[in-house]
Structure 1
Amino acid sequence: MFKIGIIGCGRIVEEGHAPAFKELIKDVNVVALADTAIERCEKIGGILNVDRAHWYTDYTEMLKKEKLDFVDIALPHFLHEKVVIDCANAGVNIISEKPLATNLKEVDHMLKAVEKNEVILAVLHNYRYQPAMKKAIEITKAGVIGTRFIIRSEGLGGSHYAGTGAYDPDWRTKQNMAGGGCLIDNGYHNIYISRELMGADVVSVYARVNTYYHKIDVDDSAFLLLKHSNGGTTSIQIAWAVKAGGQGVNEVHGKLGSIFFGREGKPLGVFLNEKGTWEYPDVSAIPQNSFTGIFQDIFYAVEKGEKVPTDGYEARRNLQIIMAAYESARKEKVVKV
């Protein structure tokens, strides 16, 4: 059983990580919590039955006093670099929320510390584990819809994912804390999902990134065209600027068929060109909480001595594409990645 210490006990831990750890009670034991706001330790401690004696307002104390197999880091982006390096230097394996950092230089510092100390670094690309998405990835990898050539990924909303009042609910809207806006936060997911579903990496990006509606110093709207190494194209549209909400669109088109998410009220629909019919795969057996699935795969990989689902280098690659998109928007031209 792995002993876990959580660093950062905010909303994403309360709504995602903690419920996942409760589901994996046979495999993991959360033994310690660290957050600058003690009331957040109290909240998460109540959910996970972590005794008050193991709550810390300084994570470095936790690293000194607790015997941990992993830390789970869920902090604002700008704090990741120092915390990851401190944990690596303490010889503790690391699970981190995405993005790994606000820029590539910070990531490289982290990777150097991880290599030097020979610890594991896994990054939570958890949308791959949403039930319909997990099944769709399996279908594409099996070649059911053939070579993919178009992906549409569109989600327009009216605001960011707010943090808890114990810290700063709006840190995602501040450049010095988040490193960007809806693109680095929401769009990060769209990009790694498109790479997975296309089965080919991104080789260039053209982007329009703007702040249309909110009075914030980060982007609230982003529109991307990604060219993949197989010649395929992904279109991504994301926003915090549309109060009414937009029509969600998630489609994958291949030479043998197509995949739609949310068609006719079903989580997943598969159209086969040769048959001219729709099929609706059952996804009910897949864990509903995407964090449960990715945590499960991380711990399984470690037990077997295998590579974790998303290591630091894969996370760096995804952030590199994000940075290229911001550059494309500034220069108003296609940027190779």
Structure 2
Amino acid sequence: MSKLRIGVIGCGSIAKYRHLPEYAANKAVEIVAVCDIVEERVNEIAKVYQAKAYTDYKELLKSEQLDAISVCLPNYLHAPVSIDALNNGLHVLCEKPMATSQEEADAMIEAAKKNGKKLMIGHNQRFVRSHQLAKQLIESGAIGKIYSFRTAFGHPGPEGWSVDGRESWFFEKEKAYIGAMGDLGVHKTDLIRYLLGEEITEVGAFIETSAKGNTDVDDNAVCALKTESGIIGTLAASWSYTAKEDNSTIIYGEKAILRLEDNPTYSLVVQYTNGEVVNYELGKIQSNEEGGQNTSHVIDHFVSSIVEDKEPLITGEEGMKSLAVILAAIKSNETKTIAKVFE
């Protein structure tokens, strides 16, 4: 079978550390073209992967016979570039958050449908082993009724991770639209929806810019969430966890408490109400820190969904529902009211 011909648009850190090496490691794939507006950067990447370099994504879409692309661009470009690619008959893997508005997300989903192409959003937390095992335990009834949850994602900020450091687009409101909530919070709304198997319907949020100077994007947020069945919990997203990353989730159930990525040795700890404790050593979560899981599984899943013509785990619709929670949180903070996720 001929290999899938892949293009990667945007050659910043997420492409450099995740998409490109993971495509290169997948035997079903050939990286054909790469694109970035910084010529020096794209030429360097093109050399590493023996791909053709472009500085204009429209030129890439027009010139190459591709099967699929990864969109690894600033948030405000996710929708227009994904839609162009879908309209050019390509499958699309888009980084999160999928868009900056409900309208954009709907337009992306519509373009995928119209062109009969796959649209997947890169929510890698669904592929973490502790998260998958926790979902199985919840679904099996072993935890009983879920009462509450607490989830957090925080680190010192994108300047330590982004290829452009403090000059990164992450800190520019027009390009990022949302800060820590879009970078980290959307991961956790997606995870909670995935674990609990139900939608979040209401949000109350406090969202601040408190840790970073010279920017008007949010860097610290705490939200109260309520699901359709009435489970309540909190979500924190922050670029102000200055010493160490926190990527933990705790699920409080009738028969047990699940602690996910909360213990340095055991990625899942199950504390049963009868006193029994089960520790699962499942390897480290994929993170920006050294020693994190070396694959996100996102790329392999996207590739196999195309090769086997299966629906990806995180479709455009799924990405949109996770984004909608973040948009509701922003609305809640602005109006100082509890916001409904889907009006």
Do the two structures share a fold, i.e. TM-score over 0.5?
yes
Q: Which runs of 5+ in 1 are unaligned?
A: none
- Are the structure 2 counterparts of residues 103 and 333 from structure 1 closer, same or farther at C-alpha, using a change threshold of 3 Å? same
Q: How much has 1:178 moved relative to structure 2?
A: 0.7
1:74-89 equivalences in 2 (<5 Å)? 74-89=72-87
- Are the structure 2 counterparts of residues 201 and 39 from structure 1 closer, same or farther at C-alpha, using a change threshold of 3 Å? same
* Structure 1 residue aligned with 2:256: 257
Aligned: 1:222 with 2:192: no
For 1:37, give the aligned amino acid: V
For 2:195, give the aligned amino acid: L
Q: Percent identity?
A: 28
Contact 1:77/1:102 (<8 A) preserved: yes
- Are the structure 2 counterparts of residues 84 and 269 from structure 1 closer, same or farther at C-alpha, using a change threshold of 3 Å? same
Contact 2:267/2:283 (<8 A) preserved: no
The separation in 1 between residues aligned to 2:227 and 2:157, in whole angstroms, is: 30
Contact 2:97/2:319 (<8 A) preserved: yes
Contact 2:154/2:184 (<8 A) preserved: no
Secondary structure in 2 matching 1:263: coil
Secondary structure in 2 matching 1:154: strand
* Structure 1 residue aligned with 2:129: 131
* Structure 1 residue aligned with 2:177: 179
* Structure 2 residue aligned with 1:101: 99
For 1:229, give the aligned amino acid: E
Residues 95-140 of structure 1: per-residue CA shift (max 9 Å, x gap): 1001111111222222232222222111111121223323323333
* 251-260 or 104-113, larger mean C-alpha shift: 104-113
- Are the structure 2 counterparts of residues 264 and 313 from structure 1 closer, same or farther at C-alpha, using a change threshold of 3 Å? closer
The separation in 1 between residues aligned to 2:110 and 2:225, in whole angstroms, is: 29
1:316-327 equivalences in 2 (<5 Å)? 316-327=320-331
- Are the structure 2 counterparts of residues 183 and 283 from structure 1 closer, same or farther at C-alpha, using a change threshold of 3 Å? same
1:149-298 equivalences in 2 (<5 Å)? 149-161=147-159, 162-165=161-164, 169-215=167-213, 216-244=215-243, 249-260=248-259, 261-263=261-263, 265-274=265-274, 276-284=275-283, 288-291=293-296, 293-298=297-302
Contact 1:268/1:281 (<8 A) preserved: yes
TM-score scaled by structure 1? 0.90
* Structure 1 residue aligned with 2:4: 2
The separation in 2 between residues aligned to 1:93 and 1:155, in whole angstroms, is: 29
* Structure 1 residue aligned with 2:50: 50
Runs of 4+, deviation exceeding 4 Å: 244-249, 284-287
Contact 2:156/2:245 (<8 A) preserved: no
Pairwise CA RMSD: 2.4
Contact 2:266/2:281 (<8 A) preserved: no
